[in-house]
Structure 1
């Protein structure tokens, strides 16, 4: 999994990340966006434009946000 969107995105959904993604790997959920790890090319374009600084490389997700790794995985299993 390349990048994870975390709690600052909840109910924010500004969508700048969607607009800059060259491979359309960011999908809208009911309360936030999610990044498809099978499509993401790890370019980091989404990280640079996120107005709420919600996007992290999976290895750098803060400890209190680690549950969003599992939420992302579950989102794409459904």
Structure 2
């Protein structure tokens, strides 16, 4: 089992999860984070820390469509090992549905 980040993270990009991850398996895109499923040790501490509730265990049926995206982009984006400030408008995107089609950026964190 592993954990995955879903589109709930897009445009929110809170990094509370990064701060608690004991194996630094988060990778940062321009407007979301992903988890490298091969590095995740399935501890689950990140799930509880996500204010956007965007992290799910891969056993959750809603996580299936996000596993490949997490794997692919964790190989392209830079590793994030410390908490940074969320975007100033993050709270206004929290809970919005279908954010992937509207806002996803394949660009890495800069």
Structure 2, unaligned stretches of length 5 or more? 77-110
Q: Which residue of 1 aligns with 2:5?
A: 5
Q: Of Structure 1 and Structure 2, which has the larger fraction of its residues in helix?
A: 1
Question: After the TM superposition, which segments of 4 or more aligned residues of structure 1 sit over 4 Å from their partners?
Answer: none
TM-score, normalising length from structure 2? 0.62
Aligned positions, number: 76
TM-score, normalising length from structure 1? 0.84
**1:52 aligned onto 2:89:** no
Following superposition, the deviation at residue 61 of structure 1 comes to: 4.1
**1:22 aligned onto 2:32:** no
Q: Is the 8 A contact 1:4 1:61 kept in 2?
A: no
| Counterpart Cα distance in 1 of 2:38 and 2:24 | 11
CA displacement 1:29-64 (0-9 Å, x = unmatched): 1221011112111110100110011101112042xx
CA RMSD of aligned residues (A): 1.6
Q: Which residue of 2 aligns with 1:40?
A: 40
